[in-house]
Amino acid sequence: MYKIFSVKKDTNVEEMVKKLINEGFEYISTFEKEMGILDFCRDLEVILDGFIDANLFIIIEGFSEHTNYKNLALHEITVEQLKTSLTRGYSISYAGTNRLLQSIGYNLNRFNEYLNEIEFNEEEKDFSKMIEKLGGKIINLHLENTTTWNPQSYLDS
């Protein structure tokens, strides 16, 4: 299971994330140890929404129902909150597999050696909403006009 966090500004965690961004791959194990996530972290995504006074986010995979992790400098957020807060940004290419970002719905493009540009796939989001709406209308129309429901008839037309 993974959790998404926004990093609170002017905290030691913000400084550690910035240090990870600046120092690179060699700092990851030190970062995980200092954050207290070394024992359970299986994947780590570090995300920023820009370059100047950036808002920072981290996604940590490896939580279980038995994981007791508290850090006052981190604010846990939902996937929907991340999507709303971050439609476009950057992920640190060496800090994780990027699998978590892709599973949430972000497209990744190589920005440079150290960064990936990420963008939430708005078309996918809009298409999903459209399908939900159409699906509901089709079912409602069909149920109003017929006594049996045959989904194949809609696929054939």
Q: What is the DSSP string of 71-127?
A: -TTEEEE-HHHHHHH-SEEEEETTSS-SHHHHHHTEEEEE-SSSEEEEEE-HHHHHH
Q: Is pLDDT at 157 greater than 90 in this prediction?
A: no
> Residue 124: its pLDDT value, please?
53
Encode pLDDT of 47-104 as tens digits. 999 989 999 999 999 999 889 999 999 999 999 999 999 999 999 988 878 889 998 9
Identify the three-state secondary structure at position 51. Answer: coil
User: In 10 A of CB 46, how many CB atoms?
Assistant: 22
Give pLDDT, residue 24. Answer: 86
pLDDT at 3: 95
Task: Report the predicted TM-score, pTM, of the whole model to 2 decimal places.
Answer: 0.75
Average pLDDT over residues 28-41: 94
The separation between CA 38 and the C-alpha centre of its own chain, rounded to angstroms, equals 20
> Is the confidence at residue 11, as pLDDT, over 60?
yes
Taking the CA atoms of 51, 54, 55 and 60 in sequence, report the sign of the dihedral they define: positive
Is the model's pLDDT at 154 over the cut of 50? no
Assigned token pair, 117: 């540009």
Is 146 a residue whose pLDDT tops 50? no
Residue-level pLDDT at 99: 87
| pLDDT, tens only, 91-132 | 998 887 888 999 899 999 999 988 999 998 866 555 555 555
The pLDDT of residue 140: 38
Report whether pLDDT(25) > 90: no
Other beta carbons less than 10 A from residue 105's beta carbon = 16
